[in-house]
Structure 1
Amino acid sequence: MIEVKDIHKAFGENHVLRGISAQFKPGKNNLIIGGSGSGKTTLLKCVVGLHEPTQGEIFYNGENFTTMGFEERVPIRKEIGMLFQNSALFDSMTVEENIMFPLNLFTDQTRAEKLDRANFCLERVNLKGKNKLFPSELSGGMKKRVGIARAISMQPKYLFVDEPNSGLDPKTSILIDELIAELTEEYQTTTVVVTHDMNSVMGIGDHIIFLHNGQKWWEGSNKEIAHTDNNELNDFVFASKFMQAAKEKL
């Protein structure tokens, strides 16, 4: 489990996060939603240690991540898998090499062991046999799946996903959502997804946090979101559905 307590983050005079507290539980798809500039990605970066919070604490299974030094954080970072918004694959590396990259950095496994793991991960994301392709030879959806394969290569306890459906068509987006949900349940990872996609929210949102102006404005499940009387959340949901419907008509 990950717990954040009273997280604030300011960049100079710009206060992006204002007292966020939440728990992200294992085996659940924990979604962070909100409009542009609401603080979603900043919160994610604070949780994984890419940003240091201005105030507040972050706990991984009861261990205070915030007070740890670089070396102390290494064991936790080895348990983290992350899928970036643009997949962040290395263009000069093959699919196989991209997936093995974390294994090369953090393990003492033999090449054969790392190759076995890469093959397993590729098969798990339905890309068996695509080892020798380069990112330039992949579709957007395939790049996302390779990114997921790399994220799970270290068998993480914690999986962080930033806008997984950005740039994807609705059908491929559903496939990516289903894959994330399957992996979360199968491995009981603590999965945290930043998204603005209402299809994702309604499809896999076990636990949802809605941010508004840097504050936690609403918290609940996808079953509860349709019945909320929170005006700002309703505005966000309506606008998101309207925009999605408009895109599908184009």
Structure 2
Amino acid sequence: MIEIVDIHKSFGDNEVLKGISATFEPGKISLIIGGSGSGKSTLLKCMVGLHKPNAGRVLYNDVEFTRLSFEERIPIRKEIGMLFQNSALFDSMTVEQNIMFSLDMFTEMSRGEKVDRANFCLERVNLKGTNDLYPAELSGGMKKRVGIARAISMTPKYLFCDEPNSGLDPQTSILIDELIQDLTEEFNTTTIVVTHDMNSVMGIGDYILFLYKGHKEWEGSNKEIAHTEVEELNKFVFASPFMKVAKKSF
């Protein structure tokens, strides 16, 4: 479980996060949604330690991450898997080498054990046999799946995904969502996804946190989101062509 308590973050005079609190539970997919500039990615970066909040607390299973030193954070960092928006694969490394990167850094596994783990992760994301390919040889959807394979290589307790469907066609986006959902259930991870994709919201949103101008404007499930009376959330939700059509059935 991850808990954030009264998170504030400013860059100079620009206050991006204004007292955000939420709880993210294991075995569930939590989505952080909101318009551009609402603070979604900044909040995610505060949670994984890429940004330091000006105030507030981030707790991993009751351990206050924000107060730990760099060295003290390492055990928790080893339990975090991260899928970046652009997949962030190393172009000069093969698929196998990309997946083994964290294993090389943080484990004492033998070469054979690392290869076995890479093969397991590739099979889990339906990319068996792509070990020796380079990122330039992969489609956008394949790169995202390799990114997921790398993110789960350490069997993380916590999985963070930043815009996993960005730049993908609708069919591939659905496959990525289903994969994230399957992995969350299989490994009982606390999964947090930053997205603006309403198909993802309605498909896999166990818990949804809506940010507006740095504030927590609403929280709930995908079963509740279509019936909210929060004006700004309604504008965001029903701006999607998919949701405009779906609204007629609500």
**TM interval, short-chain normalised:** over 0.9
Deviations 1:37-88 (A, max 9, x none): 0000000000000000000001000000011000000000000000000000
Q: 2 CA distance for matches of 1:113 and 1:244? A: 50
Q: Which residue of 1 aligns with 2:18?
A: 18
1:236 is displaced (CA, Å) by: 0.2
Gaps of 5+ in 2: 246-250
Q: 1 CA distance for matches of 2:244 and 2:154? A: 35
1:240 is displaced (CA, Å) by: 2.7
**What is the correspondence of 1:101-112 to structure 2 with a 5 Å cutoff?**
101-112=101-112
Q: 1 CA distance for matches of 2:21 and 2:204? A: 22
Give the alignment's TM-score, normalised by structure 1.
0.97
User: Are the aligned partners of 1:218 and 1:233 in contact in 2 as well (CA < 8 Å)?
Assistant: yes
Q: Is the aligned partner of 1:115 residue 2:115?
A: yes
**Segments of 4+ moved more than 3 angstroms:** 241-245
The residue identity in structure 2 corresponding to 1:63 is V
Q: 2 CA distance for matches of 1:226 and 1:52? A: 34
Q: Is the aligned partner of 1:76 residue 2:72?
A: no
User: Are the aligned partners of 1:196 and 1:240 in contact in 2 as well (CA < 8 Å)?
Assistant: no
The residue identity in structure 2 corresponding to 1:197 is D
Q: Which residue of 2 aligns with 1:44?
A: 44
Q: Which residue of 1 aligns with 2:135?
A: 135
**What is the correspondence of 1:69-218 to structure 2 with a 5 Å cutoff?**
69-218=69-218
Alpha-carbon RMSD: 1.1
Identity among equivalent positions (%) equals: 76
1:238 is displaced (CA, Å) by: 1.3
Deviations 1:182-212 (A, max 9, x none): 0001100000000000000000000000000
Q: 2 CA distance for matches of 1:214 and 1:197? A: 19
Q: Which residue of 1 aligns with 2:248?
A: none
Q: 2 CA distance for matches of 1:189 and 1:202? A: 20
User: Are the aligned partners of 1:208 and 1:221 in contact in 2 as well (CA < 8 Å)?
Assistant: yes
User: Are the aligned partners of 1:198 and 1:241 in contact in 2 as well (CA < 8 Å)?
Assistant: no
Deviations 1:153-181 (A, max 9, x none): 00000000000000000000000000000
1:243 is displaced (CA, Å) by: 9.5
Q: 2 CA distance for matches of 1:229 and 1:242? A: 19
Q: 2 CA distance for matches of 1:115 and 1:17? A: 42
Distance 1:145 1:75, change over 3 A: same
Give the alignment's TM-score, normalised by structure 2.
0.97
